[in-house]
């Protein structure tokens, strides 16, 4: 009986070991195929440079504009994060009024609107770096990036 139990245990351990090795191999191979970025996506700047066939000068200007934009927009992202933290902290207050929720919500909306406007202006500056042909490709690229990771509400009903 003891010999039979040991044999079953050994088989189970071997099967689990094989399953773990297969899983690790799958994860490692999957990363190489899908790119380096989050969720298998490549770096958008590199993808943009490749898709638009950017010159070295354009790449250099793009990098400078991007750095400047990120420096300007980071405090706004931090501010939105803090505002959302404060907003959701109101869950603990069972007596919170709708008017207070509206004030907090409006603050988040205003900050997000500022971020969106600054990002739009940034994209306009980036677009001006390109030739007319590249601008057409850039417009398409931006639309694809904005839709990345989103599902239409029509897709949810399927």
Handedness of CA 137, 51, 128, 71 (dihedral sign): positive
Quote the DSSP letter at residue 41. Answer: P
Q: Would you say 114 and 76 are in contact if contact means Cβ atoms under 8 Å apart?
A: yes
C-alpha span between 42 and 120 (Å, rounded): 22
Token code pair at residue 131? 């030739």
Longest dimension (CA), the chain: 80
C-alpha span between 65 and 74 (Å, rounded): 14
The class that CATH gives domain 43-147 is mainly alpha
45 Cβ contact list (under 8 Å, min separation 6):
62, 63, 66
Per-residue tens of pLDDT for the chain, all 158 residues: 677 777 887 888 777 778 888 888 777 776 554 444 444 456 788 888 898 899 999 999 999 999 999 999 999 999 999 999 999 999 999 999 999 999 999 999 999 999 999 999 999 999 999 999 999 999 998 888 888 766 665 555 54
Domain extent listing, the chain = 1-40, 43-147
Q: What are the strands, taking DSSP E only, across 31-104?
A: none
């Amino acid at each position: 009986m003891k010999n039979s139990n040991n044999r079953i245990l050994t088989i189970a351990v071997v099967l689990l070991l094989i399953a773990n090795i297969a899983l690790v191999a799958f994860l490692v191979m999957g990363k190489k195929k899908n790119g380096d970025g989050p969720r298998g996506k490549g770096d958008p700047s590199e993808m943009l440079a490749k898709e638009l066939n950017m010159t070295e000068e354009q790449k250099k200007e793009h990098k400078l504009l991007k750095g400047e934009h990120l420096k300007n927009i980071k405090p706004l992202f931090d501010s939105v994060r803090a505002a959302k933290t404060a907003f959701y902290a109101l869950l603990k207050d069972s007596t919170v009024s709708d008017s207070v929720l509206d004030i907090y919500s409006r603050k988040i909306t205003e900050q997000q609107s500022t971020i969106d406007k600054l990002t739009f202006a940034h994209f306009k500056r980036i677009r001006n770096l390109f030739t007319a042909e590249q601008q057409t490709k850039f417009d398409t690229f931006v639309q694809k990036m904005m839709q990345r990771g989103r599902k239409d509400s029509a897709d949810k009903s399927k």
